[in-house]
Chain A
Amino acid sequence: MELVVFLITALVSVACAIAMILSKNAVHSALFLVLNFSAVAILYLLLHAPFLAMIQITVYAGAIMVLFLFVIMLLGAEQGEGNDPIRWQQPVAIVLGLLLLAEGGLVFFRSGNIIPTPGNGTAFPTDPGATGGIAELLFTKYLLPFEMTSILLLVALLGAVVLTIKSREKEGAS
């Protein structure tokens, strides 16, 4: 049963990823990416990570993709892609990408002991719905990185504001 759910979700996510890079309209690409993120959220549920699944839906499929769609529509950037001036680039890129996939697969499946054994780190909480394990680690062992991400988000916020304000001043001056 679990395998059937996995296979269907994996098929949806790969199909959406391929449709995203093939579609001509950037809005369609963004919507395919939302579907892909939702499929990955279902996979997180299968992997006993319910908190991350919800984060994936709210932050990725919600906040980030809304930002993307907003900017695409603000700029009117749905089409606007001319012909590639370098003709041979696309087939070469596809071949190189498939080569990367083959190489990664070879490295992973040829070396047997990459697949890890159960470690001696912090075990999963026994109740699969509990996010207490994540919270406890986040506020004890990983407190410093956690605070650093808050600073990172603040700097990103300031950066976004500064970047847009400067260009507005220039437009006003000219």
Chain B
Amino acid sequence: MVPINYYVLLSALLFTTGVIGVLTRRNVMIMFMSIELMLNSANLALVAFAQARNDIEGQILTFFVITVAAAEVAVGLALLVGIFRTKRTINVDDISTMKG
């Protein structure tokens, strides 16, 4: 039986990696993938707590998070395709039309 602390620590490590990815990379696809990584690490913490509490409702919440992530990816990638068609770039620094 692995202690739950290890799972939470791993989840925190993965989340931090995702945060650093969003902050440092300028390729919008990799930023998007880092967001997926963060959602996934939150899922891992949820499942670990569900196991520690011996309560299956945490797994149900994870199920909903996965659904929302799938919807987010569909809309987000459609937006990216639209942006790429008009701006011809995937560098977020070039997408600054609304900057004042």
Residue tally, chain B, CB below 8 Å to A = 74
B residues in contact with A149, CB < 8 Å: 64, 67-68
Distance to closest chain B CB from A14 (angstroms): 6
Q: Which residue of A lies closest to B69 (CB)?
A: A64
Q: When the two chains form their complex, are residues B53 and A17 in contact, meaning their CB atoms are under 8 A apart?
A: no
Answer whether residue B77 sits at the interface, using C-beta atoms and an 8 A cutoff: yes
Q: Is the CB of B90 within 8 A of A77?
A: yes
Q: B98 in the interface, Cβ–Cβ < 8 Å?
A: no
Please name all residues of chain B whose beta carbon is closer than 8 Å to the beta carbon of A36 when the two chains form the complex: 14, 37, 40
Residue on B nearest A84 in the bound complex, by CB: B26
Q: Taking A10-B6, A60-B40 as contacts, is the C-beta distance between A81 and B73 under 8 angstroms?
A: no
Interface flags for A102-137 (1: CB within 8 Å of B; 0: not) read 001100110000011111011111000000011001
B82 CB contact (under 8 Å) in A17, A55, A164: A164
Contact status B59-A49, CB under 8 Å? yes
Contacts of B93 in A (CB 8 A): 82, 84-85
Measured between beta carbons, the chain B residues less than 8 angstroms from A167 are: 81-82, 85-86
Please measure, in the bound complex, the distance between the C-alpha atom of A6 and the C-alpha atom of B13, giving whole angstroms.
15
Which residues of B sit under 8 angstroms from A29, Cβ to Cβ? 29-30, 33
The answer to whether A13 and B10 touch (CB under 8 A), given A71-B77, A123-B54, A164-B78, is yes
Q: With A2-B1, A55-B63 given, is the CB distance from A44 to B47 under 8 Å?
A: yes
Contacts of A133 in B (CB 8 A): 56
Q: Give the chain A neighbours of B59 by CB distance below 8 A.
A: 49, 51-52, 134
CB distance from A102 to the nearest CB of B (A): 9
Interface string of B78-89 (1 = CB under 8 A from A): 111110111001
What's the minimum C-beta distance from A3 to chain B, rounded to whole angstroms?
Answer: 6
Interface residues, chain A, with chain B CB atoms under 8 Å away: 2-3, 6, 10, 13-14, 17-18, 20-21, 26, 29-30, 33, 36-37, 40, 43-44, 46-49, 51-52, 55-56, 59-60, 63-64, 67-68, 71-72, 74-75, 77, 80-82, 84-85, 89-90, 93-94, 96-98, 100-101, 104-105, 108-109, 115-119, 121-125, 133-134, 137-138, 142, 145, 149, 152-153, 155-157, 159-161, 163-164, 166-167, 171
By a beta-carbon cutoff of 8 Å, the part of chain B in contact with chain A is 1-2, 4-10, 12-21, 23-30, 32-34, 36-37, 40, 43-44, 47-57, 59-60, 62-64, 66-75, 77-82, 84-86, 89-91, 93
